Structure 1
């Protein structure tokens, strides 16, 4: 039996993380408000007139703009107001679904986007799903044992926020999550099917406090464990609530 230690959502893809205590998962959907919006750049193929999922390269992401990793978020879901914070930018509260607020957000985030790289252009959203890296709606599951193993390889404490996971579990053995692929796991009142491992990118190298790349997490994975994966993608098959402290088990 495992225990849910933490729950996280990321209202704007690559632009802020938020710790939450409980969430209601719905079959076939992403976690509510997770990657609900994404930030396009000038070369994006996202079509705002016909919104549909597109690959992550069409958005501003931490793999190419590491400073974005330093953003934290606080969503007022009832008002659909989002507050973002960054050590170099201060605080911004805005309404992502209001077109007139997009300029305020873009002006706020632009100073941490290098001038010689892609620049933020607009906000994108797709009805009824988050902009996950997968082309199907997923929730990500991480384990604390695997995180501690990576810490051990690096030789110092490592922020778990680097992995940008949705559900963190205490109890599973090191890399046990990879054995769940093709199986179902009950977490709280919801049931999820584990689909595939998550191959990691340079976003994880950036410090979530400063947005500076300071740790070669990819080398730690590849050289220490023979793979570049951390965590697994899962789909929700049975709706239900999940809270910190809930139990989980493979079924």
Structure 2
């Protein structure tokens, strides 16, 4: 088994970015992954602690967000966003949140809690687990879903971090409670990733076009990928081996 893709999401639910390498640290999420999030007007999130994803604007409620792609300038912490229905945007999330709110407003249904502010959570980010997690995704499982639904699907529907190839479908669920070496890191697999309506949106268009949750029910669940804790830090690049210890 080998690493095929590495992805991060600097602003939670607002863009994806492919990486050629990543350096992970024990007890932390992927650097800059979900570092920022867009709190909506009904949220109490202030960046002082982790809170549930229901506090944020996200793809399950606003499917158009799935079509955003991003690029982060780490040195300046400047984020570049693009969307097929919006002009490109460049802004600094900590100081120019108003620019993002104006940019995303046309994509947000008016019957939803509207985006209100950007919050930041260093080291662990606003991942969807109570612990700082990295998601490990199996390309074979993705292909199994494609075959079952009889539709070509983008891997970006799953918003995962590290994709690997060369395994059997769903074998990752057998790794719960075990350690997995990925490149120079060791990850402890803690839980399966439960899925929501965000997966139904096409990452190219932001329109819902596939019954992903219903398709997953073919296997008796609505899960895809596993969440892992980094127990030994190191560098990961595409092509690195993935090995269950």
State the TM bucket, normalised to the shorter chain.
over 0.9
Secondary structure in structure 1 of the residue aligned to 2:163: strand
Q: Indicate if the aligned counterparts of 2:23 and 2:235 stay in contact, CA closer than 8 A.
A: yes
**Deviation string for 1:95-150 (max 9, x for gaps)?**
1122xx11111100111001121111000112322100111100000001000000
Equivalent residue runs for 1:1-251 within 5 Å: 2-48=1-47, 51-98=48-95, 101-222=96-217, 224-251=218-245
**Deviation string for 1:195-233 (max 9, x for gaps)?**
0100110000000011100000000001x2111110000
- Number of residue-to-residue matches in the alignment: 245
Deviation at 1:5, TM superposition (A): 0.3
1:78 and 1:190 map into 2 onto residues whose CA distance is: 24
1:73 and 1:148 map into 2 onto residues whose CA distance is: 25
Deviation at 1:47, TM superposition (A): 2.8
1:62 and 1:95 map into 2 onto residues whose CA distance is: 22
2:78 and 2:124 map into 1 onto residues whose CA distance is: 18
Secondary structure in structure 1 of the residue aligned to 2:117: strand
1:81 and 1:47 map into 2 onto residues whose CA distance is: 21
RMSD: 0.8
Deviation at 1:13, TM superposition (A): 0.5
1:60 and 1:109 map into 2 onto residues whose CA distance is: 10
1:164 and 1:217 map into 2 onto residues whose CA distance is: 14
Using the size of structure 2 for normalisation, the TM-score is: 0.98
Secondary structure in structure 2 of the residue aligned to 1:179: helix
Using the size of structure 1 for normalisation, the TM-score is: 0.96
Moved over 4 A (4+): none
**Deviation string for 1:66-111 (max 9, x for gaps)?**
111010000111111100000111200111122xx11111100111
Deviation at 1:235, TM superposition (A): 0.3
1:153 and 1:127 map into 2 onto residues whose CA distance is: 39
